[in-house]
Amino acid sequence: MILTIDCGNTSVKGAVFDGDLIILRRLFASPWDNISDLLEKYDIKVCISAVSEAGDGISEFLEKSGVTPVVINYRMKFGIDNALANPAATGIDRFCNASYAAFLSRSDCIVADIGTAITIDYVKMTAQGSVFQGGIIFPGPRLCSEVLHSHTWKLPIVDFSGKLPVVGTDTVSAIGSGLSHGIASLIDGIHSRIACENKTEVALYLCGGYAPVFKDLIKTPGIIIEDFNFKAIKHVYELNRTHI
């Protein structure tokens, strides 16, 4: 069994795989005590994708518990090459997502991860194989709303609620529309520009906490795979299993 742990910008989530089946999902929080029962109940390997310092805390806790986790880093195998200027400074979640999307599509693809931040990453298929080209990073819906509130006198924080009329009839609905239709248009526009620049069709994968909400707002046909991020971590773990 494999426990995949996704240490994101604002939360730490885990999923236990028995083969390809997820049998348990859980949110973790410092001091990480709610990992202990999983270690006692299951004979598991642990694989961590971390973009925050929480990864160090979990790794230390696991080591003290007698478990040596696999912490994904940019030097590991991802099944794709990369054209990045500085791979070491790139979020490891983006490597994992790009790797899994390329594995699924076997063609040019984009993976849009919509969470605290939005990453839209492009993998290009070449004669030599798939190459992670890079992408864009943008504030997520909640972060956009918080920044708008903190840098203005009267604009409130608006809880993102999904599909709204394009034209807002008051301040709250105008902000909500800006978040929903603005971000949907961002993803559509980036996808269109990448496809146009590369003169090819590009598959679109949507993941992250807001992906189900945006699926119906984005005009580009997008593929949502349940637990994409956990499956991406597991995919990278399996690519490196013989070298761990």
CA distance 121 to 30: 30
Q: Which of 93, 108, 113, 121 is catalytic?
A: 93
* Cβ neighbours for 85, distance < 8 A, ≥ 6 positions apart: none
Q: Confirm whether 93 is a catalytic residue.
A: yes
Within 13 Å and on the Cβ side, how many CA atoms surround 77? 12
CA distance 229 to 209: 10
CA distance 26 to 145: 27
- Helix or strand or coil: residue 20? coil
* Cβ neighbours for 38, distance < 8 A, ≥ 6 positions apart: 3, 14, 16, 24, 26, 44
Q: Which residues are catalytic?
A: 93
